[in-house]
Structure 1
Amino acid sequence: MKYTRFASLILILLYGCSNGYHKFESQYALPSSVPDYGNLEYWAAHPYKKDPSDSIPRPLRKMYLADSSIDIFFIHPTTYTDNARPFGWNAPIENAALAAKTDYSTILYQASIFNASGRIFAPRYRQANLGAYFPVTAADTVAALQAFEIAYADVKAAFSYYLSHYNNGRPIIIATHSQGTTHGKRLVKEFFDGTALQKKLVAAYLVGIPVEKNWFTQLKACETANETGCILSWRTFKEGYKPDYVLHEKVPAIVTNPLTWSRTDTIAPRKINMGSVVTGFNSLVKKVAEANNAGGVIWTPKPRFFGNIFFTTKNYHIGDYNLYYLSVRENVKERIKAYKNGSPD
């Protein structure tokens, strides 16, 4: 599958050695195939344990100042990517290899963006296999939909447990990517859109999957860099490229520029991109990518970093956060400050 080959390549570029997580497998002991969110082992990130989301890129450590008054609920993307689906349509939550892969890829490289802004909660869940996005037969379609339902049921159970046992009235940021956004859209609609909890939503970063402009009833897309209680979303591609599935989308998607934080058609040059994490977690590379809101997606010319000669794909999906790592990190702080100050925008 072309998507899987792309994912393997980009993981090497963005996440370092693609199989380096194997050395961490022995640290996992998840006893059951059904998640128990009262057990910290079923959380990939949790403030009551040390985990990769606590990591800080070396150039940012001197300016690190944690804030424990805000909670971030992070829903990770697909890490069960095997074409053969060795475990069926849903990943076994107790599998140590998948747990390690999740923690030392997306939790380290994406969830860590938010660790200066609050407490991070990221549940493990019985994620759908990557192939669920690409069903071939009618039977595959039925199985894929069921796989997503199983995955969402876990995410919903984790969030409900979090609300009951850990939130204690704190403001909340929802942050998601890819399959995480497939579930995050539903979660935000069910728990925040037009409910009493909406007042506790600082912002929802729903990235990598289209979020239709009419998906929510009360919640709106963010218009400025410090607006709160709103939705942010983007998908990143090489300048000039739109895959067929984007061209055939019937409802326009929310598009937020991850450098200017505007929703209008803007071009943000790479010179204002002050930090991407693309070649190793402890290397913060400046001016890697620009951001051009181009009618449904974000475009950038080919990212500039050492090794990009091997970077031939036009789909920058897995880099949606990492190409704009420092920009997102700082924007989260800005929105939290506005929320605490009671600013409507």
Structure 2
Amino acid sequence: MKIPVARTKRKTRSRAVRFQLAIALVAGLSACAPGTSTTSTEPLNFSGPVNWAALPWTRDAADETPVPGLRDRQAEAAADVFFIHPTTYLSMFGWNATTDDERLNNLTGWGPIRLQASVFNDCCRVFAPRYRQAALRSFMSRSQGGRNALEMAYEDVRDAFRYYLAHFDEGRPLIIAAHSQGSFHAIRLLAEFFDKDPALRRRLVAAYVIGWPVPCGAFANIPPCDRADQTGCFVSWSTYIWGASESGRHSNREGCCINPLTWRRDGDYAPRELNLGGTPYKFDRLDPGVTDAQCVDGKLWVHKPEQSGYVPLGKSMHLMDYNLFYANIRRNAETRLSAFRRQ
């Protein structure tokens, strides 16, 4: 039966609103969208801390840990992580965020920087640029405005990475990590810089390209990881509640799913006993055994946690891609770095 256009638009708008509310809930902030001030087209200046959401020598949300037993070791870390945060710009009117919106910066900091980027503060110094991220609606629109918004966002990420290489990296081992929109940009960054540059590729410990489908053959010279201590490879997964099937634009069949409980892509079931601990959106505890995991048709299936604080979006656990496996990611980054240093 043909669905009336008006009803389809209402459903799309409803899904977008639920998505915005869930992101705001995770960040612990108001559900109202941040401001929509005019976005400059001039290149961003990354020479000072204003356009960085996290730097190893500033006090920021990437320094946090959910429990006292985990420590921020950035001051003594032997490697760096370049982290590209997901969408926090929720406006349905503007195309690109500004980087001087204090409320949006707080949303980004106490959302994905604290909940996701902090997972690497044991192994690595954390560098996370602010960028004129594309609005959420850019991914729902096929217009030129949406394409231009994503291009501007990537140009900022690329400029920040170039600045990092020129001024911060000191030839250190490097991890690329990202989530959602950040992973969309990370795929381009890996293809442009690492896939074509053997010298830079030799410094790549691993890439955590999470919450966006990445084909297993996405890169000519960066393979998918297939064991916990493999280096120079990428890991990716998108988390869904057990039994989720293919559904339109959310299809992950072409994505390369690496199970974060086994760090393999063989599709074997991993019981919850392998889960070292997830952390809820309040970031106030670790929950060992919070969920199991299995890769099925490009998706990572999990059983919904019994503990509170793990926010679903229908059948998707997109907002919890990092949270559900926080301790496993933290340990794995150190495992890969140790293997890299032995080599």
* TM-score interval for Structure 1 and Structure 2 normalised by the shorter chain: 0.7 to 0.9
The residue type equivalent to 1:96 in the other structure is E
- The residue correspondences of 1:146-225 to structure 2 (distance < 5 A) are 146-195=148-197, 196-225=199-228
Distance 1:89 1:43 in 2: 21
Structure 2 SS opposite 1:151:
helix
Compared with structure 1, are the counterparts of its residues 190 and 313 closer, same or farther at alpha carbon in structure 2 (3 Å cutoff)?
A: same
State the partner residue of 2:7.
none
Q: Say if 1:21 and 1:100, in contact at 8 Å, map to a contact too.
A: no
Distance 2:101 2:72 in 1: 33
The residue type equivalent to 2:123 in the other structure is S
Compared with structure 1, are the counterparts of its residues 55 and 247 closer, same or farther at alpha carbon in structure 2 (3 Å cutoff)?
A: closer
Q: Say if 1:78 and 1:129, in contact at 8 Å, map to a contact too.
A: yes
Identity of aligned residues (%): 38
Distance 1:55 1:35 in 2: 27
Q: Say if 2:244 and 2:315, in contact at 8 Å, map to a contact too.
A: yes
Q: Say if 1:260 and 1:268, in contact at 8 Å, map to a contact too.
A: yes
State the partner residue of 1:331.
332
From 23, 30, 50, give the equivalent of 1:19.
Answer: 30
Structure 1 SS opposite 2:280:
coil
Structure 1 SS opposite 2:307:
coil
Structure 1 SS opposite 2:286:
coil
Comparing 288-297 and 277-286, the one that deviates more: 277-286
Q: Say if 2:97 and 2:133, in contact at 8 Å, map to a contact too.
A: yes
Distance 1:307 1:118 in 2: 27
1:103 aligns with 2:109: yes
Compared with structure 1, are the counterparts of its residues 111 and 21 closer, same or farther at alpha carbon in structure 2 (3 Å cutoff)?
A: farther
- Report the alpha carbon displacement of residue 313 of structure 1 after superposing the two structures with TM: 2.1
The residue type equivalent to 1:218 in the other structure is N
Q: Say if 1:194 and 1:219, in contact at 8 Å, map to a contact too.
A: no
Instruction: Identify unmatched segments of 5+ residues in structure 1.
Output: 26-30
- The residue correspondences of 1:64-79 to structure 2 (distance < 5 A) are 65-66=73-74, 67-79=76-88
Q: Say if 1:7 and 1:318, in contact at 8 Å, map to a contact too.
A: no
The residue type equivalent to 2:115 in the other structure is Y
Q: Say if 2:63 and 2:72, in contact at 8 Å, map to a contact too.
A: no
- Report the alpha carbon displacement of residue 109 of structure 1 after superposing the two structures with TM: 0.6
TM-score, normalisation: structure 1: 0.87
- The residue correspondences of 1:9-48 to structure 2 (distance < 5 A) are 9=22, 11-12=24-25, 14-15=26-27, 17-19=28-30, 34-48=43-57
Structure 2 SS opposite 1:267:
coil
Distance 1:34 1:301 in 2: 44
Structure 2 SS opposite 1:58:
coil
Distance 1:21 1:226 in 2: 43
Q: Say if 2:19 and 2:313, in contact at 8 Å, map to a contact too.
A: no
State the partner residue of 2:317.
316
Compared with structure 1, are the counterparts of its residues 246 and 233 closer, same or farther at alpha carbon in structure 2 (3 Å cutoff)?
A: farther
Q: Which runs of 4+ in 1 moved over 6 A?
A: none
